Amino acid sequence: MSLALRALFSRRTSEPSVITVDFDGEVYLVQLRRNRLARRYTLRIHSATREVVLTLPPRGSLKQAREFAQRHGAWIAARLNRLPQPVPFADGTVLPVRGVEHRIAHRPHARGTVWLEAGSTEARIICVAGAAPHIPRRVRDYLKREAKRELEIASRRAALALGVSLKRVSIRDQTSRWGSCSTTGVLSYSWRLILAPPFVLDYLAAHEAAHLVERNHSRAFWRQVERVCPDFKKAKAWLDANGADLHRYGMS
């Protein structure tokens, strides 16, 4: 970055990172991002986080950014309304675990943290002890532990089948990708994969383990995936159709 651009950015350190847009009686938060490569103002919405982001060019003004965002208030409202509604982790919430419906049941006076019970209806029960404010964290921690355990098993099984070794498996709350493979052999996954049917989780494990053999998405790579997961196209199709929906669970 040139000295002139550095000075330009430093002068704007005090500008807000968030602005608001008023449309049809609703107020929408818009995150501001400057990009030295941008040539114009652009708006986008992250479906996973429902975050509205306005990108400004280096010399763009805050006044123009506000006007641009306000002119697109109808677009922002329409796009957000089309997204699946957030489903917070709370007493009575129904969510999928391994593709099977589970209902959260608050047990404030019970001992322990989180455990499963068979329900009287088709939905299984995720029992959560303790005070109500702890429910979201305890359910999320439980799902992360389950995801770590399942993906650890699936990843090591896939790596063994491919004749490679991995360093470790980590679980994150990734929104832009379901998994990744580092050059050091660390496989990282979104914990939300535990919400999907097992065949989807197995496919992602095969996908990332295959990157230990092929670092690209060439035909050779997909042959490695198919060795471990012959029905991988079914899982890819499921993610394309339902993957975005998984991100709404646990959002408030």
At position 3, the amino acid (one-letter code) is: L
pLDDT, position 11: 47
Among 40-44, 174-178, 203-207, 242-246, where is mean pLDDT lowest?
174-178
Write the pLDDT tens digit of every residue in 82-123: 888 889 999 999 999 999 999 999 999 999 999 999 866 667
pLDDT, position 12: 56
Backbone φ and ψ of 211, nearest 5°: -70, -15
Domain residue spans of the chain: 3-82, 94-246
Q: Say which CATH class 94-246 falls into.
A: alpha beta
Query: With 60 as the cut, is the pLDDT of residue 252 above it?
Result: yes
**What is the pLDDT confidence band of residue 14, given thresholds at 50, 70 and 90?**
confident
Location of structure tokens 């355990």:
149
pLDDT, position 119: 67
Query: With 60 as the cut, is the pLDDT of residue 9 above it?
Result: no
In angstroms, the CA 192 to CA 199 distance is 14
> Mean pLDDT over all residues of the chain?
91
Location of structure tokens 């959560």:
128
Query: With 90 as the cut, is the pLDDT of residue 5 above it?
Result: no
Write the pLDDT tens digit of every residue in 139-157: 999 999 999 999 999 999 9
In angstroms, the CA 223 to CA 226 distance is 5
pTM of the model: 0.79
DSSP class of 83 = S
First to last CA, the chain: 39
Summarize the confidence of residues 46-67 as an average pLDDT: 92
